[in-house]
Chain A
């Protein structure tokens, strides 16, 4: 079967780009990624974006983007699966190449989340939950993160301060990442005294609202074009859906993530996860702890003890500090891992064989995973 290679990637700093629209942000990363790949053209463009309808007043964003960038000879698609849209775009691109319907695919993740005040963005973002049963009744994603965090603390007899290390680590990582939105350092005291969002979730447990764009070029052959970066193979993509929070027997488990991790374990060497560089979806710091446990990097309830032993986990600073431009985030993760495995990211280079991107929407309503492998 055909193989899929990442032959180019580009990203822009996540932040408040008031002077740039989505077209400008996307154009910049498309040019850079295509240039790195050495390609003249691609067969298919997939745009990952979550807020185009509600915030940009734009339907069919992939068509409009292609029209504006003089790319009308290319097939284009828009993918939206909430916060995990970026990895969903990657999944579709992977399938297109594997099935021989495309040879060269450009994935663009773009989001403009700062076009309106935060309370409006909060409202729209809350629609990743079920409108008819949850968001219409004013239930929001941080509320769920708070309920899940309290359940975790109770189950394992932990105190709030026992799980304040994650944001500190993420801000430390982000301080070295030129593409991160929050590149300042914080300490435990600052985390624990920051503003309450949904108790016990505080401001420094959550991601900042920011704009961003990232792009990846995938191709069926590593010799395609004249790639300036070392090729990395995209060997696996997978996704799963879980039930709503109120239908779960145990709040401390993330069922969709468990399913994609189990799939990964079945297909690859079990030890691979322990040795991989990982970017995971820490939209709220409690999720980082649960995800580390779902990935098998720590026993249940033990994640807080091993946070500082994890070296190549969210080198970018994660959603927490690199930022979370919603639909673009999954594309960021893969672009960051690609950089980390090739030219380097945040002053570091990962020499290991595997890298994993994990993304989810809401409280694990869907989860997606992508596995990169160094080409030897």
Chain B
């Protein structure tokens, strides 16, 4: 088993949609479901659902081999600025590495992160895919 089932299940909402933490004290918004604001430490926070759309700010094509994710090489890891103005790091899929560029519009999609092959659990999470113009 690659991941603990309760650990994954507990965070399922944040893994299956992009939830942002909005701080009512300092006003900043951060990607992921934090208990307290990562900027100021205030516990007065609320979760906000992101549109899941954004643009690529920086990206890297990674050949760094890690156990359990060998089949996803190369990975395209991007820093994406969401339409809410918040940044998130994530993997880009359904695109050839040569076609990725800064400024490319992307949206979140649900994909396999890893699996307990051949007969075990499949762990899903969000990755990003280019938005096809006109769609």
Contacts and interface: CB of A to CB of B under 8 A. Distances in A.
Chain A, interface SS category: helix
B77 A246 contact: no
A92 interface: no
A198 B125 contact: no
Interface stretch (A1-9, A22-30, A80-88, A118-126): A118-126
A246 B38 contact: no
A142 interface: yes
Contacts of B7: 132
A150 B102 CA distance: 11
A151 interface: yes
Contact of B61 (A140, A154, A196, A251): A196
Interface string A258-295: 00000000000000000000000000000000000000
A144 B91 CA distance: 12
A142 B62 contact: yes
Interface residues of A, number: 35
Nearest to A146: B60
B77 A198 contact: yes
A119 B70 contact: yes
A136 B125 contact: yes
B54 to A, nearest CB: 11
Contacts of A58: none
A147 B38 contact: no
A138 B69 contact: yes
A138 B66 contact: yes
A64 interface: no
Interface in B53-81: 58-70, 72, 75, 77, 79
Contacts, number: 104
A262 B62 CA distance: 34
A151 B56 CA distance: 12
B9 interface: no
B113 interface: yes
Residue of B31, B87, B88, B91 with highest tally of chain A CB at under 10 A: B87
Contact of A198 (B31, B38, B61, B70): B61
A139 interface: yes
Interface string B87-109: 11111000000000000000000
A118 B65 contact: yes
Interface string B19-53: 00000000000111000001100000000000000
Given A136-B113, A139-B89, A251 B69 contact: no
B88 A246 contact: yes
A167 B45 CA distance: 44
A120 B38 contact: no
A243 interface: yes
A247 interface: yes
Contact of A247 (B30, B77, B126): B30
A198 B60 contact: yes
Nearest to A197: B64
A233 to B, nearest CB: 36
Given A137-B113, A243-B38, A247-B87, A197 B11 contact: no
19 contacts: A119-B66, A122-B64, A132-B11, A132-B32, A133-B31, A136-B113, A136-B123, A136-B125, A137-B89, A137-B91, A137-B125, A137-B127, A139-B90, A144-B89, A146-B60, A154-B58, A197-B64, A243-B38, A247-B31
Given A122-B67, A133-B32, A137-B125, 12 more contacts: A136-B113, A137-B127, A138-B113, A138-B114, A139-B89, A140-B62, A143-B60, A146-B77, A147-B77, A196-B61, A243-B39, A247-B38
- The 4 A-B pairs of least Cβ separation, nearest first, read A146-B60, A198-B62, A123-B67, A143-B77
Interface of B: 3, 7, 11, 30-32, 38-39, 58-70, 72, 75, 77, 79, 87-91, 113-114, 123, 125-127
Interface of A: 118-120, 122-123, 126, 132-134, 136-140, 142-144, 146-147, 150-151, 154, 195-201, 243-247, 251
